[in-house]
Structure 1
């Protein structure tokens, strides 16, 4: 029976990280799965797996007991920005040690950022030595290409989508207007007052077009170590909205990604500012409008056909048209969510094949691929596996 170590490098965990980890563990059963995260105790309670700290020492101690290292999600292929519990140099060192010990290494759903010099070389060597690489976005693929890794690349959705396969709850037109928020996106938006200024016209438009919608509920986004910061952020936004004449209450973060989806589904309207609350809202089939704070949020909104406010690609008709469009697009946004669920299943199939040493060419997920090529390994060595499919997964 094979043993797999799943490393999640994100320093501030979201319930979607737990969902992705749980999906991998279920798919790889009966393999023995051990996780490494920034918050081992909470992760272990959430997914019922053995979990160790995501440190180089912990990972290297486990090297003799596992067959495959899977780096799952996060943004490990970027210069250290403080968002990851293990930086690029540490990820490269650990991955290289595993490969030299004859272990398989996979990068699944990982993000990349702009790197130069030594950082670019570490990204290139880490990716070229991976038996399976699935990047999280076209932007990440562009960054990887810029450091000399030859395209094409496989780009796939967040495996957390697999926790959102159940049908959405019944529509709730009288439900609250729900606004999930975390401290990160609040800071990127310029603070509570700036966000309230952006969203107050949106709330007025929602009230005018959907008078049955309930009160505003500002919900903290994350639990665990980030819970306090996110609750403070939610409190600040609720106070700022209330000061503008839009009374708002605060709720704690959802306990799981599927619970987040259900809470959004029982809402009359949703306002989301980060990709992982957008994904839950899309799966809930609730009218949803995105407030863009960074490139990743804007990209997620475009992929899911969610209209945006506060961005260069905002609809030209302003907030009134944006709210009207959000209400009309709930069905198509949910269809986009279903496509992401299916594509996430394809990525998980490839990972399962790698762990079981299967032949990708014989698997349905690989049918129709133009070619399957082996990329060179680090410093001219062969890659550990031929399972390195080109092309784009969506």
Structure 2
């Protein structure tokens, strides 16, 4: 990695929750992500390379050391565009200088063909079934049992239930990956749910989501895929990024510490719920594209195209202001 940075013209972090302490399910030391990111950033700036972070997020920073590393990483960036307001709040609470530019995950740019109008679910053919996109990072060893308990009412209602892993291989600290989690949930439900293969990419994930009446998203990019498919989703918010994307798309959120029955009830209700609105999806795509235009401006040092082509992004947690004592 050091050799790659030395050969590069710039270093870009594109998407991902960079500012967080890792959970036990990762099988890595809690601060390893922050330490490695900061080491790469320090190497880039020492070599005079631009460092940009576009569409990145922040999660749990539970210790003073984690917050210190996060602040140092913020200071290293020539460009920092966060994914959502939740990330801005987390970094502000860690003591990083505010405000932050708020964009969107770069993955949204894959769906520039999103429909101009929201589908009319009252007149569209009814889609049956609930797709559950799994993540072994969503809990500890009790996760399979909690999910099975939560999804049992869906099976009991006779609604088709399908489980889909996203990441297979490289089991984390709890000894399982998404596939093993799916098998454990399926076994606890008497083999009723179908377990399908992971999608090859986000376009395939969107195409799969189109076949269902609702998606239960334990993964952030599953929520993006469901939205692009015009399918209602329920965000299982074991990380703030899932709550953030659901908030912006006006979809229901179930906290990971809520009683399991809440998830099942919310998923069944989503079958008759509204899909993410097309204007909201277009806004996410536009935010992601704006972040990439800012990136282009930084990487070319303003030499290619006028800077006024970049209209800017909203600021959080508050805009820049001039203190009264200075303005007077």
Q: TM-score, structure 2 length as denominator? A: 0.76
What is the CA distance between 1:322 and its match in structure 2? Answer: 6.5
What is the CA distance between 1:69 and its match in structure 2? Answer: 0.7
The equivalent residue for 1:373 is: none
Q: CA 1:195/1:255 → structure 2, altered by over 3 Å: closer, same or farther?
A: same
Name stretches of at least 5 consecutive residues in structure 1 with no aligned partner.
Answer: 1-57, 208-212, 371-388
Instruction: Select which of 233, 236, 243 maps to 1:298.
Output: 243
Note if contact 2:70-2:94 (Cα within 8 Å) is conserved in structure 1.
Answer: yes
Distance across 1 between alignment mates of 2:94 and 2:100: 13
The 5 A counterparts of 1:198-209 are 198-202=150-154, 204=156, 207=158
Name stretches of at least 5 consecutive residues in structure 2 with no aligned partner.
Answer: 322-328
Q: Provide, for residues 112-137 of structure 1, a one-character-per-residue CA deviation record: whole Å limited to 9, x for no partner.
A: 34255454333223212211001233
Q: How many residues align?
A: 300
Query: Does the alignment pair 1:137 with 2:79?
Result: no
Distance across 2 between alignment mates of 1:283 and 1:269: 13
Distance across 1 between alignment mates of 2:22 and 2:86: 17
Note if contact 1:192-1:237 (Cα within 8 Å) is conserved in structure 2.
Answer: yes
Query: Does the alignment pair 1:95 with 2:41?
Result: yes
The 5 A counterparts of 1:267-346 are 267-309=212-254, 323-324=268-269, 327-332=272-277, 334-346=278-290
Note if contact 1:109-1:134 (Cα within 8 Å) is conserved in structure 2.
Answer: yes
Q: Provide, for residues 166-215 of structure 1, a one-character-per-residue CA deviation record: whole Å limited to 9, x for no partner.
A: 347x9663554322212222x3593323212212234556x5xxxxx6x3
Query: Does the alignment pair 1:68 with 2:10?
Result: yes
Q: Provide, for residues 203-257 of structure 1, a one-character-per-residue CA deviation record: whole Å limited to 9, x for no partner.
A: 556x5xxxxx6x32211122464697211111121222236xxx21111101011
Structure 2 SS opposite 1:107: strand
Note if contact 1:178-1:269 (Cα within 8 Å) is conserved in structure 2.
Answer: yes
Instruction: Select which of 158, 178, 183 maps to 2:136.
Output: 183
Query: Does the alignment pair 1:258 with 2:211?
Result: no
The equivalent residue for 1:106 is: 52
Q: TM-score, structure 1 length as denominator? A: 0.65
Note if contact 1:173-1:267 (Cα within 8 Å) is conserved in structure 2.
Answer: no
The more displaced of 127-136 and 106-115 is 106-115
Q: Provide, for residues 61-85 of structure 1, a one-character-per-residue CA deviation record: whole Å limited to 9, x for no partner.
A: 1334222111223333334546579
What is the CA distance between 1:163 and its match in structure 2? Answer: 1.6
The equivalent residue for 1:148 is: 95
The equivalent residue for 1:365 is: 310
Distance across 1 between alignment mates of 2:266 and 2:96: 43
What is the CA distance between 1:259 and its match in structure 2? Answer: 0.3
